[in-house]
Chain A
Amino acid sequence: MGFHIVVCAGIVPDPLQTLEPITGPQGPALKNEMMLPAVLDPWAKHALFEAAHLAAKTPDSKVWLVSMAPKTKLQQVMMSIAQKASFELVALDGPASGFTDSQAVAEALAAAINAISGLDRKRLLVFGGWESASRGAGATLQIVGERLGIVEQFQGVDELSVTASGSLRILERVEGGMHQISHCDGPPAVLGWATGSLPEPPNNPQVGMANMRTLMPALQKATAAGVAVDGKSFTSVEVPKQRRDTRIVKDASTDDIAREIMEWIKG
Chain B
Amino acid sequence: MSQTTPSSDNGVERQCMEADVVCVGFGPAAGGFLTTLARGLTNEDGSLAVSSAVMEGMPPQVICFERAEGLSFGVSGVVTRARGIRETLPNLDPATIPMAAPVAEERVVYLLDPIGASRRPRTLRAIDRVLRAAKRAVGMQHDAVELPYIPPFLRKDGGLVLSIGQFNQWVGDNIMMSGAVQLWPGSPVAEAVIEENKVVGVRLVDQGTDKDGKPDAGFTPGMEVRANLTVIADGPVGPVGRQLDAHFGMPDGHHQRDWAVGMKIVVDLPESCPLEPGTVIHTLGYPELEIFGFMYVYPGRIASLGIFVPSWFDSPVRTAYRYLQHWMLHPYLWRHLNGGILRSWGAKTIQEAGKRGEPVLAGDGFARIGEGSGSTNVLTNSGVDEAWATGSILAESVLDLLKQDKPFTKESLEATYVSRRRASWVESEGRIAEHARDGFQKGFIRGILGTGLAGLTQGRLHLAGLPPRLNERVLSLQEHFQGKISEAEIGQIRKQCIAKGESLHDALMTRAGWPEIPYDGQLLVSHQDALLLGGKVQAPGGYADHVVFVYPHLCETCGVQLCAEICSGQAITPNPEGGVPLFDREKCVHCGACLWNCTQASEENKESGAIAFRAGAGGLHSSEN
Contacts and interface: CB of A to CB of B under 8 A. Distances in A.
Contacts of A205: 17, 63, 65, 184, 187, 204, 223, 225
Interface in B128-173: 166, 169, 172-173
Contact of B186 (A83, A206, A212): A83
Interface of A is mostly: loop
A76 B621 contact: no
B182 A208 contact: yes
B73 A37 contact: yes
Interface in A15-48: 15-18, 32, 34-37
B496 interface: no
Contacts of B207: 202-203
Contacts of B71: 76, 79
Given A17-B535, A75-B173, A35 B186 contact: no
Interface in B489-538: 532-536
A203 B182 CA distance: 14
Contacts of B220: 202, 204
A161 interface: no
Contact of A36 (B63, B177, B223, B623): B623
B98 A14 contact: no
A202 to B, nearest CB: 4
Interface in A69-109: 72, 75-76, 79-80, 83
Interface in B587-625: 621-624
A208 B15 CA distance: 14
Contacts of A34: 98
Interface of A: 14-18, 32, 34-37, 72, 75-76, 79-80, 83, 199-206, 208-209, 212, 216, 219-220
Given A37-B535, A79-B183, A80-B185, 13 more contacts: A35-B623, A37-B622, A37-B623, A76-B169, A79-B71, A79-B184, A203-B184, A205-B65, A206-B1, A209-B17, A212-B182, A216-B179, A219-B177
Contacts of B204: 205
A216 B187 CA distance: 19
Given A75-B176, A83-B187, A199-B218, A35 B624 contact: yes
A202 B173 contact: no
The 8 closest A-B pairs by CB, nearest first: A202-B207, A37-B623, A202-B220, A16-B536, A35-B98, A216-B179, A72-B173, A37-B70
A72 B182 CA distance: 15
B223 A76 contact: no
B393 interface: no
Contact of A202 (B72, B176, B218): B218
A32 B540 CA distance: 26
A209 B58 CA distance: 14
B179 A14 contact: no
6 contacts: A37-B72, A37-B621, A75-B177, A80-B186, A83-B187, A204-B220
Contacts of A200: 540
Contacts of B184: 79, 83, 203, 205, 208
Interface in B327-367: 343
A227 B173 CA distance: 25
A18 B99 CA distance: 17
Interface in B54-79: 63, 65, 69-73
Contacts of A15: 536
A79 B176 contact: yes
B241 interface: no
B178 to A, nearest CB: 9
Nearest to A208: B184
A60 to B, nearest CB: 23
A103 B351 CA distance: 53
Contacts of A37: 70, 72-73, 535, 621-623
Contacts of B173: 72, 75-76
B3 interface: yes
B70 A80 contact: yes
Interface of B: 1, 3, 15, 17, 63, 65, 69-73, 98-99, 166, 169, 172-173, 176-177, 179, 182-187, 204, 207-208, 217-218, 220, 223, 225, 343, 532-536, 540, 542, 621-624
B201 to A, nearest CB: 12
Contacts of B343: 18
Contacts of B621: 14, 16, 37
Contacts of B17: 205-206, 209
Nearest to A201: B218
Contacts of B540: 200
Contacts of A35: 98-99, 166, 623-624
> Which of A15, A37, A72 has its CB near the most chain B CB atoms (within 10 A)?
A37
A199 B225 CA distance: 26
A12 B3 CA distance: 34
A59 B467 CA distance: 65
Contacts of A14: 70, 535, 621, 623
Nearest to A204: B220
Contact of A209 (B177, B182, B218, B535): B182
Given A36-B623, A37-B70, A75-B177, A17 B534 contact: yes
Contacts of B623: 14, 35-37
Contacts of B624: 35
Given A16-B535, A37-B621, A216-B179, A32 B98 contact: yes
Contact of A206 (B15, B176, B534, B536): B15
Nearest to A200: B540
A219 B179 CA distance: 10
A150 B338 CA distance: 57
A183 to B, nearest CB: 30
Contacts of B177: 72, 75, 219-220
A102 B605 CA distance: 62
Contacts of B225: 205
Contacts of B183: 79
A15 B70 CA distance: 13
Contacts of B542: 202
Count chain B CB atoms within 10 A of each CB in A18, A36, A204 and give the residue with the most. Answer: A18
B388 to A, nearest CB: 21
A75 B622 CA distance: 18
Most buried by B among A32, A35, A205: A205
A203 B186 contact: yes
A205 B188 CA distance: 11
Contacts of B99: 35
Contacts of B223: 204-206
A31 B571 CA distance: 32
Contacts of B3: 206
Nearest to B621: A14
A15 B534 CA distance: 10
Nearest to A220: B179
A205 B205 CA distance: 12
A125 to B, nearest CB: 25
A64 B63 CA distance: 24
Given A18-B343, A37-B621, A204-B220, A80 B69 contact: yes
Nearest to A246: B521
A201 B207 CA distance: 10
Contacts of A79: 71, 176, 183-185
A80 B98 CA distance: 22
A14 B165 CA distance: 15
A202 B15 CA distance: 14
A56 to B, nearest CB: 14
B82 to A, nearest CB: 20
Nearest to A17: B535
Nearest to A36: B623
Contacts of A32: 98
Contacts of B72: 37
